Structure 1
Amino acid sequence: MWHLFDGQWQNPLDAADKIVPYLDGSNKPIFHPLNDSGDHVVLINARDIALPGTEWEKRVYFHHTGYARGATWTLAWQLHEIDPTMIMRKAVYNKLSKNLLRHGRMARLHIFPDDKVPDSILDNISAQIRQQRPVPTRLDHYPQEQVDSFPKIFDWPKDHIIN
């Protein structure tokens, strides 16, 4: 099966916990740790993920080229500017079990930075994984009459408002 997961406003570490059972097949009744019976997961809107607190400035991702002095540490916001899909890819990769099946399971994870998915992949999607956090509605997306009818705590006269 192919599953769709929307990463908008989702914490990558919590989202990885939701995605991993679908990749390794542990959500199925025929699951066995030595068999690879997982499904494909299509993750959209990876550019709009939400790290909590000051994690954008403090979380560091490590990479090594394999050569001497080839170690690099990159902050989360820098890595996200370079490749918007990499933080989700690293989160899911680290949550998968550390065995020889991990690379095959990662091959079934398809990450897209926005909601533009090729039609060849969209035709296969048959289920959706529920988001953990609801996406809040921005204030400028509410109709003006709904904003005006919202109950106010203080009803200030308009001539007292300082611009």
Structure 2
Amino acid sequence: MSVLKRVQQWATFARVWHIYDATWQNPFASAELIKKYLMGLYKPIYHPMNDCGDHVIVINSAEIALPGDEWTKRVYFHHTGYPGGATWTLAWELHTKDPKMILYKAVYRGMKGNLQRRHTMQRLHIFPDANVPAHLLGNVSNQIKQLRPIPKRLDHMDPEVVKNSPKIFDYPKDYISI
């Protein structure tokens, strides 16, 4: 085997490290995207019994955006295994306790049917903010594109730009806001 073919084969079977920014992203749609990289579905050597997936680092999981009124309507179930150990937790309560858990559970559920799901989930590294240890960031070689653009907040924009932007309407001078 030539040297070029050997390096090409090593690159094929190597585990790549990806980074994904979850700011203002739907965790359920993000889970489908992350699953593709964790399981190695995008690789030509993929087989359900072959463990060829990559590592994925997810940053800013505390800034996810659930669609509609999912924060108050979605409920997560947990059972301790003991009698009377069933609990149901609302999404906003779970996110307050652990900002990584909603995205983790979405990815875990998205890999339903994967026989190696528990081992695959060990390659998912979720951080609630952008503070990632340097030894993990040194491995990253690819960035996963976000599903939707992050809207820019009005209070984070330059006041001069806000002042010069066109207005839809002007409030009357005697307008009273409640």
Correspondence for 2:48: 33
State the TM-score, normalized to the length of structure 2.
Answer: 0.86
Contact map agreement 2:24 2:63 (CA 8 A) in 1: yes
Correspondence for 1:132: 147
Correspondence for 1:11: 26
**1:42-84 residue CA offsets vs partner (Å, 9 max, x unmatched):** 0000000000111000000011111111111100001001100
Q: Which runs of 5+ in 1 are unaligned?
A: none
Higher relative contact order (CA 8 A, sep 6+): 1
Q: Is the partner of 1:126 in helix, strand or coil?
A: strand
Correspondence for 1:102: 117
Residue 114, structure 1, aligned to residue 129, structure 2:
yes
**Aligned counterparts of 1:36 and 1:116: Cα–Cα separation in 2:** 29
Contact map agreement 2:71 2:92 (CA 8 A) in 1: yes
**Aligned counterparts of 2:125 and 2:170: Cα–Cα separation in 1:** 51
**Aligned counterparts of 1:111 and 1:39: Cα–Cα separation in 2:** 14
State the TM-score, normalized to the length of structure 1.
Answer: 0.94
Offset of residue 148 of structure 1: 1.5
Question: After the TM superposition, which parts of structure 1 deviate over 6 Å for at least 4 consecutive aligned residues?
Answer: none
Residue 22, structure 1, aligned to residue 37, structure 2:
yes
How many residues are paired up? Answer: 161
Q: Is the partner of 2:140 in helix, strand or coil?
A: coil
Quote the sequence identity (%): 58
**Aligned counterparts of 2:171 and 2:26: Cα–Cα separation in 1:** 39
